[in-house]
């Protein structure tokens, strides 16, 4: 996955503070299930593009190698959030996934469908079958609506699971950077995300899960909580 931005240094600092990991200008950020490159939009010819996520060439192993990872990731990717204007049409384009309703995401202003990993051997377009895909259709003027208006359909959010202590640490590290975290209720329980412009840009969503969540609703035993 590639996070394209006009301010690479700032975005890397925010991601590092939120995830509790370090990165260097030469390295990708390693999250189990995802290799995240922060790319400079100013290196592209013509006008600088707005901040957005884009799917890079898939890594068949789903993991970064030692040469291109900044750290052994400690924050597992739980789901990729994909903005769409039509959940039914979008889900039909991913026949290898099992789809189920989940609670709406108040933080980004959208309701969604959760696609569970495809069986081994099935091919899922543009995204590895080993990861959950959360389709997000806006139901208010929020971040997903802004992302769709600016970029059209495509990847817009990263849902990352952290221990409660790590989330508390993330809040302190973000505050030290002058970044205010915002909270909201989401499909996997309470969420926290670094706030700030642009609203149409990618959203990194932190969550804590005591037990797995499957398509169709939360796991038995309740959802995790974001500590105050």
Residue 60 domain-assigned (yes or no): yes
pLDDT of amino acid 80: 93
Residue 109 domain-assigned (yes or no): yes
pLDDT of amino acid 100: 94
pLDDT of amino acid 59: 40
Confidence check: pLDDT of 1 > 70:
yes
Confidence check: pLDDT of 104 > 70:
yes
Main-chain phi, psi angles of 87, to 5 degrees = -60, -45
Higher pLDDT, 35 or 129: 35
pLDDT of amino acid 135: 97
Q: For the segment 60-96, what is each residue's pLDDT rounded down to a tens digit? A: 333 333 323 333 345 788 999 999 999 999 999 988 8
Q: Exposed (0-12), middle (13-18) or buried (19+): which is 119, by Cβ within 10 Å?
A: exposed
Maximum distance among all Cα pairs of the chain, rounded to whole angstroms: 52
User: Contact, 193 vs 171, CB < 8 A?
Assistant: no
pLDDT of amino acid 185: 95
Q: For the segment 143-195, what is each residue's pLDDT rounded down to a tens digit? A: 999 999 999 999 999 999 998 889 999 999 999 999 999 999 999 999 999 98
Residue 85 domain-assigned (yes or no): yes
Residue 146 domain-assigned (yes or no): yes
CA distance 155 to 55: 7
Confidence check: pLDDT of 122 > 70:
no
Residue 221 domain-assigned (yes or no): no
User: Contact, 3 vs 37, CB < 8 A?
Assistant: yes
pLDDT of amino acid 219: 44
Residue 18 domain-assigned (yes or no): yes
Q: What is the CATH number of the domain that holds 117?
A: 3.10.180.10
User: Contact, 98 vs 58, CB < 8 A?
Assistant: no
Residue 34 domain-assigned (yes or no): yes
10 is written with which tokens?
């700032």
Q: How many domains does the chain have?
A: 1
pTM of the predicted protein model: 0.80
Which residue range forms the structural domain that includes residue 76?
2-207
Categorize the per-residue pLDDT at 220 as very low, low, confident or very high, splitting at 50, 70 and 90: very low
CA distance 45 to 50: 14
Which letter does DSSP use for residue 147 in this model? H
Using N-to-C axis directions, what is the helix angle for 164-176 and 8-19, rounded to 10°? 150
19 is written with which tokens?
């995830």
User: Contact, 162 vs 18, CB < 8 A?
Assistant: no
Confidence check: pLDDT of 126 > 90:
no
Residue 214 domain-assigned (yes or no): no
How far apart, in Å, are the Cα atoms of 83 and each of 45, 139, 154, 198?
Answer: 26, 12, 5, 16
Q: Average pLDDT for residues 205-216, to the nearest whole number?
A: 66
């Amino acid at each position: 996955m590639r996070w394209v931005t006009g301010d690479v240094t700032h975005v890397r600092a925010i991601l590092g503070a939120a995830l509790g990991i370090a990165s260097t200008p030469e390295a990708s950020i390693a999250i189990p299930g995802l290799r995240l490159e922060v790319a400079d939009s100013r290196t592209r010819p013509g006008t600088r593009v707005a901040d957005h996520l884009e799917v890079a060439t898939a890594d068949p192993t789903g993991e970064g190698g030692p040469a291109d990872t900044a750290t052994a990731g400690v924050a597992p990717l739980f789901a990729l959030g994909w903005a769409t204007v039509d959940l039914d049409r979008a889900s039909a384009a991913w026949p290898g996934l099992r789809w189920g309703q989940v609670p709406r995401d108040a933080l980004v202003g959208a309701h969604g469908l959760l696609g569970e990993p495809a069986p081994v051997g099935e091919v899922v377009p543009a995204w590895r079958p080993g990861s959950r895909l959360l389709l997000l259709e806006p139901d208010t003027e929020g971040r997903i609506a802004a992302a769709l208006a600016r970029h059209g359909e495509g990847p817009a959010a990263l849902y990352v699971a952290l221990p409660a202590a790590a989330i508390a640490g993330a809040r302190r590290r973000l505050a030290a950077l002058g970044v205010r975290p915002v909270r909201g209720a989401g499909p996997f329980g309470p969420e926290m995300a670094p706030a700030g412009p642009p609203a149409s840009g990618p959203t990194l969503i932190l969550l804590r899960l005591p037990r797995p969540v499957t398509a169709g609703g939360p796991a038995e035993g309740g959802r995790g909580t974001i500590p105050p």
